[in-house]
Structure 1
Amino acid sequence: MALKDKTPPMIVVAIDFGTTFSSWACSLRHDYEENPTKVHVRQWVGGDRISSKAPTTVLIRPDGKTLEAFGFEAEDRYAALVEEGAYKLWYYFQRFKMKIYNDSSLSRNTVIKDATGKPLPAMILFSRTIQFMKEDFLQQFKRTLEGRIQDYDIQWILTVPAIWNERAKQFMRQAAVTAGIRDEYLKIALEPEAASLFCNHCPMKKFVANGSEYASISTFERGSKYMILDAGGGTVDITIHEVIGNGKVKELHKASGGPWGGTKVDEAFQQFIIKLVGNTVFERFSKEHLEDLQEMLRSFEVKKREIHLDKQYQVVLRIPISLIQLCEGESGNSLEERIRQQCTTSNMKLVNDKLKVDSFVMKEFYTDTLNSITSHVLSIFENEQFADVKSIIMVGGFSECHLFQQAIQDCIPHTNIIIPLEPDLSVLKGAVIFGHNPEAILERACRYTYGVAGAKKFIDGQHRQTFRKSCKLGELVTNVFVKIVECGQKIKFNDRQPEQILAMSEDKTEHVFSIFVSEKPSPMYITDEGCSLLGNITISGLDTSVPLIQRKIAITLMVGGTEMEVEAREIHTGKTSKAVMDFLG
């Protein structure tokens, strides 16, 4: 018996595949029924630290296929290879998830370059990472579940940003299937939705300007509205939910956001160090002292969450001795001298391996990122229909940053800023809850206008002459955007959109329809500005026994879930089948 037969899974396993950090978590059905927030999260060991997440870092053997290590272990193993001078044939990837964000050319053949510039198919990289997570879970729970667990007992959940398009979602699903997770036992969870579900079940710490107190979304009255701001390492996802009750919510504002996560702050810090020591020195340091670089970045990761907006003080940043020595050996000047040359004020000083900087210097690393996020949040609140949104729930690892919290509070001062006790785990734990109850998101706002390329009777003076076509059916205008669902439209879970009747233009047993998207509500042609090809729908086994003019296909689009589904019905035979969608080319 399969999960698709509505049998509740014995166990749900969620994989949060993040830009900076990743992990998996799980819960048994009886634990979920007792307490939805009772979720087991994998613990990772890196040096002298234990963490609920590991760096999204992968080391692949020279064969380009075999994953050697993941996370902290991958960082340490590669650093050892660099020290031994044996690293050049190995593949080493860090923070690679964003490589498929908004990539209009994303396909099964997309390649990503590793730390040394060697290309590897992205599908291999992503599938091996998911496979590692899958096997790591099975190994951890082998003794507990041995002899009792079958494929159909596990519901796998894979998280993706809500602002990702269908092409990126299909890529992740294909990677998971390649990793050995059967398609029917896999669901995609949208990150801010997962976080919202988790927050609906647990007490949370409320951040206010004059101190802290406790609050819980679960105490919100039915009809209360709140913004979910999911700020991870790579992306910031923002949406607005309304409380329905019984742990269920509906989406009021389509997911939006951008690539404004915490890694942008890391990049600004790295550019700051490069400016101090010089590009040549930093490149040598990165290659010859990778372990020291990793330690410097880990130390900065802690510092960047502690910085405050309204305080002026000195921040101490650790600079590896190896970098200080390289700087002096390469340039002939000590790092201390270079700092004096570049900084005429007293806001920066090097003492041994400690770089002491005024806090305003550190705050500059955040400027572009925070400006992008606050501008976007303000644009949403300018909509009068969200005037009664009184709370912002901040989740994701970047939301632990005090500077970020204060910036949002100052941006929208009339709102309560609520932050879970473990904001970096909200998505992961919420994804497990979603796996047990995928119908908890009762309604979503469609992110795009979806349609298919079609044709209709040509009307002189109304339609574009360049799209005019003569065929057996008469004079037609082609390249018409046949709208199926409109951006912003509210769609309930499992809602079926009205059928769109499409005429057949060729006498074949297989027909391919192209599906298009637009951020505009009513495009006329598929070539209009803002329209883009999403992918193709292939319908096979069509009946050709009747004249072409009598043959039509009804297309039904289902976009109320986290992934699009399409159903096709051949009108003259009544035959209905799931159409095969391909967004990856």
Structure 2
Amino acid sequence: MPSQPPSNDPQAPANPPSFYTKHDAPRYGTVALPCNIQFHRSPIAPLQLLQQHTPALQLATISKSVFIIAIDFSTSHSGYCFSLTSSTDQIRQTPTCILFNQERKFKKFGYDAVMKYKSLPHGKADNWYFFQDFKMKLYNTVGGTVTLKAINGKMLPALTIFSQSPCYLKERALNTIQEAYFQTVCSQEEITWFITVPVTWSAAARQFMQLEAKEAKAGVIPFPQIIFGDFPQHLNNLYAVVYPGGTIDIMVHEIQENRLLKELHKATGGGWEGNSVDENFTDCLKKIFNDGVWDEYVQSHPSELRHMMYNFSIQKCLTGRDAIYIHCYYNLTRVAEHKKDISHFFKNEEGAVWCDGMIMITYKKMKSFFYYRIKNIIRGRFLTSFASSIILRDAIRQAFSKKYHILCPMEVQVAIAKGAVLFGVSPHVIASRVSAWTYGIAVSEKFDASIHPFCKQRVSKADGFVYCMDLFKKLVGIEEAVNINEVVHYDFYPTEPDQTEVCFSFYCTEKQDAQYIDEEGLEKLGSGTVPMPDTKLGRKRQLKLDIKFGLTEFKATCTDITSKQSWAIVINFLAV
């Protein structure tokens, strides 16, 4: 890439890239952050795209808010946690379920949704929309027009479902604050909002959650790296496995002398087996209640089934090593006894026993439900600070206790929301992060026949300038450490002398570097367009791109040196 604007060489073009780059851009500097929405729980997210002239939001202003409110939108349970910036946090949780009526209007969320749906007459329930555990749908599928299926098979747009969830939690949080602080009414400027998202989610999924937050008229946060307060003085490294239910997130930090955290390895994890423990339990019940009994029950009594699964979700997190008892609801008993005495269904199922209206699951049988989940966690070779299940904790201790100190924080179920609030109060507690991918942009440069393939050659129609298109310009490498306030500057020039806008196309790869954007393993993240209305200087017009690394996502501004105008750049991941 040339260190000076390209000279006017002859020939004619096709589909020119938008700009050229310089080799000798300086590495460090300062830049305002023009984004007013926050995200959490990402290693290093790519740039976000959205052109806007928004006031600069300095990270330091977060801690000046009167209230920090975190919304933990989890797979099985969701909740909010709030704190005065100088006070203790308050936490509320509810199941992640949502209910819409036949007119597709939001009615209830959480326990209220479960109880309302259960109370509906059977015929009416068929026309309503009840969704549960829907967050995991974003893990592999995302897009601006995605639809999700309710338990009765009816479909609704995903954005409608997801947007109402934080909106409900937002209103509940504000109402709780008003009640707790003598009807205090806070303006939006006095509140910083955080919405947590899994560290392993794609950029598109994170942006989908950002759209959701805008629908709810609240700010958003990608789930921050979790902070558990003071660490034991002798610990140097902290390995954390966060298991909220649907996904597992794994992080590795070094505790520095100043007690700040330095990320040592890119965050990893995934939706390993999804809600596999619950699925194994339902598979067991289906095997017990054979001969079509279970299928009929699931089809005819979904709200009652949901109550049974809530009962199981509580029991599976108990800290004892005893058998558990699951209440067998009336309709399951009735459907089963149409076939035969219900106790006869249990004769061939080891570890499950009929016990006077209850289903007893032995501890050994319960452990078998966790087998694949535990196997995947231990295979990852990381230590833990996560769920309250004694089965999971025993497995982790057995695998790692001889080599590592194992910590399990108090109230692990709400550690994610607490961490988000703590991050809001002290955003600089993470001193540096590690990039999960190699990120770069598509550029062009003067064609060199000795290194560039002729299929990449293009010629300008304006003056015959010959250039190579589709080159990959690396911005940051995979597993490269970036400091919280690090800024990188890049200079670009338009490809055509008369073009009035520049398109930045962003890519990522797991490779250390790439030469061209169409190589195997490169994925387009999205693109953003910046106007350059003044064409008097032709190709000599300079664009300055400033990218700030180390936050929970990249922040970038682009400045047209000719017009002195600056724009925030946010990638439209959903348009790819």
* Amino acid across the alignment from 2:331: S
CA distance in 1, matches of 2:194, 2:97: 21
Alpha-carbon shift at residue 149 of structure 1 (Å): 2.1
Q: Structure 1: any 5+ residue segments left out of the alignment? A: 32-37, 43-52, 202-216, 379-391
Residue correspondence of structure 1 range 20-59 to structure 2 within 5 A: 20-31=76-87, 38-42=88-92, 53-59=93-99
Partner of 1:50: none
CA distance in 2, matches of 1:556, 1:283: 58
Find out whether 1:322 has 2:331 as its counterpart.
yes
Alpha-carbon shift at residue 571 of structure 1 (Å): 4.6
Partner of 2:155: 119
Query: Does the 8 A contact of 2:499 with 2:532 survive in 1?
Result: no
Partner of 1:98: 136
Partner of 1:407: 395
Q: Deviations over 1:159-191 (max 9, x none)?
A: 11111232222221221111122xxxx351424
3-state SS in 2 of match to 1:417 = coil
3-state SS in 2 of match to 1:322 = helix
Change (3 A) 1:148 1:307: closer
Alpha-carbon shift at residue 63 of structure 1 (Å): 2.3
Alpha-carbon shift at residue 153 of structure 1 (Å): 0.7
Query: Which of 403, 413, 425 is equivalent to 1:424?
Result: 413
Alpha-carbon shift at residue 225 of structure 1 (Å): 0.8
Alpha-carbon shift at residue 580 of structure 1 (Å): 4.2
Q: Deviations over 1:347-383 (max 9, x none)?
A: 44323333344433322211221111111226xxxxx
> Whose strand proportion is higher, 1 or 2?
1
Partner of 2:343: 336
Change (3 A) 1:41 1:469: same
After TM superposition, the score normalised by the length of structure 2 is 0.83
3-state SS in 1 of match to 2:316 = helix
Find out whether 1:525 has 2:516 as its counterpart.
yes
CA distance in 1, matches of 2:416, 2:200: 15
Partner of 1:253: 265
3-state SS in 1 of match to 2:488 = coil
Change (3 A) 1:319 1:466: farther
* Amino acid across the alignment from 2:540: Q
Residue correspondence of structure 1 range 382-531 to structure 2 within 5 A: 392-395=383-386, 399-412=387-400, 413-460=402-449, 462-471=451-460, 472=463, 474-499=465-490, 501=492, 503-505=494-496, 507-531=498-522
Find out whether 1:155 has 2:155 as its counterpart.
no
CA distance in 1, matches of 2:495, 2:534: 11
Find out whether 1:272 has 2:284 as its counterpart.
yes
CA distance in 2, matches of 1:261, 1:306: 21
Change (3 A) 1:502 1:100: farther
Change (3 A) 1:436 1:261: farther
* Amino acid across the alignment from 2:473: V
CA distance in 1, matches of 2:95, 2:360: 27
Percent identity between matched residues is 27
Query: Which of 113, 117, 126 is equivalent to 1:88?
Result: 126
Query: Does the 8 A contact of 1:484 with 1:498 survive in 2?
Result: no
3-state SS in 2 of match to 1:488 = coil
Find out whether 1:288 has 2:341 as its counterpart.
no
CA distance in 1, matches of 2:446, 2:553: 33
* Amino acid across the alignment from 2:451: Q
Alpha-carbon shift at residue 477 of structure 1 (Å): 2.8
Query: Does the 8 A contact of 2:203 with 2:525 survive in 1?
Result: yes
Alpha-carbon shift at residue 294 of structure 1 (Å): 2.3
* Amino acid across the alignment from 2:346: I
3-state SS in 2 of match to 1:408 = helix
Partner of 1:18: 74
Query: Which of 70, 77, 84 is equivalent to 2:109?
Result: 70
Higher RCO (Cα < 8 Å, 6 or more apart)? 2
Partner of 1:562: 552
Query: Does the 8 A contact of 2:177 with 2:184 survive in 1?
Result: no
Alpha-carbon shift at residue 279 of structure 1 (Å): 8.1
Coordinate RMSD, CA, aligned = 2.6
Q: Deviations over 1:33-62 (max 9, x none)?
A: xxxxx11113xxxxxxxxxx2100001122
Find out whether 1:224 has 2:215 as its counterpart.
no
Residue correspondence of structure 1 range 160-179 to structure 2 within 5 A: 160-179=197-216
* Amino acid across the alignment from 2:397: Q
Find out whether 1:537 has 2:528 as its counterpart.
yes
CA distance in 2, matches of 1:461, 1:28: 63
Query: Does the 8 A contact of 1:550 with 1:572 survive in 2?
Result: no
Query: Does the 8 A contact of 1:220 with 1:243 survive in 2?
Result: no
* Amino acid across the alignment from 2:530: I
Runs of 4 or more, structure 1, over 6 Å off, are none
Query: Across the two proteins, how many residue pairs are aligned to each other?
Result: 515
3-state SS in 2 of match to 1:497 = strand
Partner of 2:379: 375
3-state SS in 2 of match to 1:377 = coil
Query: Does the 8 A contact of 2:75 with 2:136 survive in 1?
Result: yes
Query: Does the 8 A contact of 2:130 with 2:151 survive in 1?
Result: yes
CA distance in 1, matches of 2:502, 2:413: 46
Change (3 A) 1:178 1:295: closer
* Amino acid across the alignment from 2:399: C
Alpha-carbon shift at residue 506 of structure 1 (Å): 7.3
Alpha-carbon shift at residue 155 of structure 1 (Å): 0.8
3-state SS in 1 of match to 2:256 = strand
CA distance in 1, matches of 2:185, 2:534: 46
Alpha-carbon shift at residue 284 of structure 1 (Å): 2.7
Query: Which of 138, 141, 147 is equivalent to 2:177?
Result: 141
Query: Does the 8 A contact of 2:502 with 2:532 survive in 1?
Result: no
Alpha-carbon shift at residue 517 of structure 1 (Å): 1.0
Partner of 2:26: none
CA distance in 1, matches of 2:565, 2:150: 48
Alpha-carbon shift at residue 262 of structure 1 (Å): 7.2
Partner of 2:256: 244
3-state SS in 2 of match to 1:556 = strand
CA distance in 2, matches of 1:159, 1:248: 21
* Amino acid across the alignment from 2:216: A
Query: Does the 8 A contact of 1:93 with 1:115 survive in 2?
Result: yes
CA distance in 2, matches of 1:94, 1:295: 12
Alpha-carbon shift at residue 11 of structure 1 (Å): 1.0
Partner of 1:200: 229
Alpha-carbon shift at residue 285 of structure 1 (Å): 1.6
Query: Does the 8 A contact of 1:231 with 1:262 survive in 2?
Result: no
3-state SS in 1 of match to 2:367 = helix
Query: Does the 8 A contact of 1:420 with 1:426 survive in 2?
Result: yes
* Amino acid across the alignment from 1:268: N
Q: Deviations over 1:249-269 (max 9, x none)?
A: 121111100113772211111
Query: Does the 8 A contact of 1:231 with 1:261 survive in 2?
Result: no
CA distance in 2, matches of 1:270, 1:440: 42
After TM superposition, the score normalised by the length of structure 1 is 0.81
Q: Deviations over 1:389-422 (max 9, x none)?
A: xxx4413xxx111111122223323111100111
Query: Does the 8 A contact of 1:22 with 1:54 survive in 2?
Result: yes
Alpha-carbon shift at residue 96 of structure 1 (Å): 0.8
- Mean Cα deviation higher: 515-524 or 402-411: 402-411
Partner of 1:213: none
3-state SS in 2 of match to 1:188 = coil
Query: Does the 8 A contact of 1:339 with 1:349 survive in 2?
Result: yes
Query: Does the 8 A contact of 2:493 with 2:540 survive in 1?
Result: no
Alpha-carbon shift at residue 555 of structure 1 (Å): 2.7
Partner of 2:27: none
3-state SS in 1 of match to 2:282 = helix
Query: Does the 8 A contact of 2:67 with 2:83 survive in 1?
Result: yes
Find out whether 1:190 has 2:178 as its counterpart.
no
Alpha-carbon shift at residue 23 of structure 1 (Å): 0.7
- Mean Cα deviation higher: 413-422 or 463-472: 463-472
